[in-house]
Amino acid sequence: MRIAFWLVLSVALVSALPLKAQREKLPWDDRVIVEKTWPNAIKTSTGLRYVILKEGKGDARPKAGDLVTVLYQGRFLDGKVFSEETNPAQAFRPRVGRDQLIPAWEEAIKQMRRGEKRLIIVPYELGYGTKGDPPRIPRKATLVFEIELLDFANE
């Protein structure tokens, strides 16, 4: 009886391990750069990493269907900027949950509060994938974005 209990417990523990295990999403060379440059970045269960640069206000967070107003800068790990909108008068205004954003942005924006600014480190699987977005973004590119959530509303 005692052996059967330990056997069942062992099988249960071993079968639960893969559910908790997480494969590293960044290629080795990129991971070395990221961990050196942003050692305090928080890693989510999806592999997205982020650093809060400026705290937001309130408790409300964007949800699917909300129109968000954001400023951003996108760059490669070497610092080269590939896209940006930093002028509040021309802010980027996508709708959350409507396939207008890469998966990393969807995840990050839904966690942010009004006025918050985050740096996010995006593994290619949460960005532009294995194909990239030629000619601007090469295939399997790890990307870095600074995103500032100015406002959001369900319009």
Break the chain into its structural domains and give their ranges: 23-153
Say how far apart CA 131 and CA 139 lie, in whole Å.
5
Alpha helices by DSSP H, 67-131: 103-111
Average pLDDT over residues 93-116: 97
Residue 89, pLDDT > 60, answer yes
Confidence tier at 30 by pLDDT (50, 70, 90): very high
- What is the structure's pLDDT at 20? 46
pLDDT digits (tens, 9 = 90+) for 46-87: 999 999 999 999 999 999 999 999 999 999 999 999 999 999
d(CA 121, CA 127): 10
152 neighbors 62 (Cβ within 8 angstroms): yes
Tell which CATH architecture fits domain 23-153.
Roll (3.10)
